[in-house]
């Protein structure tokens, strides 16, 4: 996400089936300690403690740990099929407040669309 | 947002004071008709109608129309001051599910931080 400036992650299983889609802010939610999320000003007070916890989280957590419970509800995952219209993809991103949608063909992940990419196609040139 | 691949918008007043911050998906939420957001598959059934409505929305709406009611609750706007730590900025984005934060110094907008930019600084090289 950092190197390629991606707005989020799509997590798939070994067979390439999309499992869930996480926005960048959801990924941050996994690495920032909960007590700091509840009151961000605590990061300043407990700066060293907060940084240590983030490093500990990063060292010991795997992508599997990023999977939220919501992955079990398919309608809460921003996914469209290859026949979806541009407006449909935009509607899915708007409804789920997601910066990207996965494009999945019969369970197989075939691509992703970001908000800025979609806007480039939606708007008149 | 399309041309510069920005993850959202910061709307400020004429004095340069940050007024609100909108994620890309919130901007899509303004241009996609509500009935399509409720059931994105309707975009396919009513494709022409949906596209017409989007064009109408785009033609007649201004940035002012993008402002949500939540702008009136300052704690719901992703803003940090220049002394905020990286972790604090991450916590604000995580809590508000925002792909960016505005950096505001005594009411004056001085910059913005995106998730991918923050991750580049947060993670060990």
Residue-wise pLDDT tens digits, A70-122: 545 667 889 999 999 888 999 999 999 999 999 999 989 999 999 999 988 87
Q: In this structure, are residues B33 and B54 in contact, taking their beta carbons and an 8 Å threshold?
A: yes
Q: What is the pLDDT of residues B28-67, one digit of tens each?
A: 988 888 888 888 888 888 777 777 777 777 777 788 877 7
Which pLDDT score, from 0 to 100, does residue A125 have? 62
Closest Cα in chain B, distance from residue A78 (Å): 11
Q: Which residues are registered as beta bridge partners of A22? A: A9
Question: Which residues in chain A are closer than 8 Å to B114, comparing Cβ atoms?
Answer: 5, 24
Question: Which residues in chain B are closer than 8 Å to A115, comparing Cβ atoms?
Answer: 1, 7, 24-25, 27-28
* Nearest by CB: A43 against B58, B85, B119: B85
Taking an 8 Å cut-off on Cβ atoms, the answer to whether B84 and A51 are in contact is no
| B residues 39-78 closer than 8 Å to A (CB) | 40-41, 43-44, 47, 50-51, 54, 58
Rg (CA), chain B: 17
DSSP per-residue codes, B8-28: EEEEE-TT-BEEEEEEHHHHH
Which pLDDT score, from 0 to 100, does residue B70 have? 52
pLDDT reading at A69 higher than 80: no
Closest Cα in chain A, distance from residue B61 (Å): 14
Q: In this structure, are residues A118 and B4 in contact, taking their beta carbons and an 8 Å threshold?
A: no
Mean pLDDT of the A45-71 span = 73
Q: Taking CA atoms, what residue in B is nearest to A38?
A: B95
Q: How far apart are CA B94 and CA A26, in angstroms?
A: 6
Taking an 8 Å cut-off on Cβ atoms, the answer to whether A24 and B54 are in contact is no
Taking an 8 Å cut-off on Cβ atoms, the answer to whether B116 and A6 are in contact is yes
Which pLDDT score, from 0 to 100, does residue B115 have? 94
Q: Of B72 and A44, which is predicted with more confidence?
A: A44
Taking an 8 Å cut-off on Cβ atoms, the answer to whether A44 and B98 are in contact is no
Environment class of A70 (CB within 10 Å of its CB; exposed 0-12, middle 13-18, buried 19+): middle
Q: In this structure, are residues A11 and A19 in contact, taking their beta carbons and an 8 Å threshold?
A: yes
Which pLDDT score, from 0 to 100, does residue A53 have? 76
Secondary element (H or E) of residue A111: strand A108-114
pLDDT reading at A18 higher than 70: yes
Mean pLDDT of the A20-34 span = 88
Mean pLDDT of the A59-72 span = 70
Closest Cα in chain B, distance from residue A107 (Å): 18
pTM, full prediction: 0.86
Question: Which residues in chain A are closer than 8 Å to B85, comparing Cβ atoms?
Answer: 43-44, 47, 50
Place of tokens 């908000």: A115
User: For testing the chain A interface, which of B94, B119, B123, B125 should be mutated: the one with the most A CBs within 10 Å?
Assistant: B94
């Amino acid at each position: 996400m950092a190197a390629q400036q991606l707005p989020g992650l799509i997590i798939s299983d070994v067979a390439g089936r999309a499992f869930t889609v996480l926005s960048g802010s959801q990924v941050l939610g996994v690495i920032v300690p909960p007590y700091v999320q509840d009151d961000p000003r605590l990061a300043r007070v407990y700066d060293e403690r907060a940084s240590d916890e983030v490093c500990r989280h990063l060292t010991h957590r795997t992508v599997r740990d990023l999977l939220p419970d919501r992955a079990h509800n398919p309608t809460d995952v921003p996914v469209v099929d290859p026949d979806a219209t541009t407006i449909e993809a935009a509607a899915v991103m708007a409804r789920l407040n997601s910066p990207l949608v996965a494009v999945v063909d019969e369970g197989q992940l075939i691509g992703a669309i970001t908000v800025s990419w979609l806007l480039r196609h939606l708007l008149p040139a």
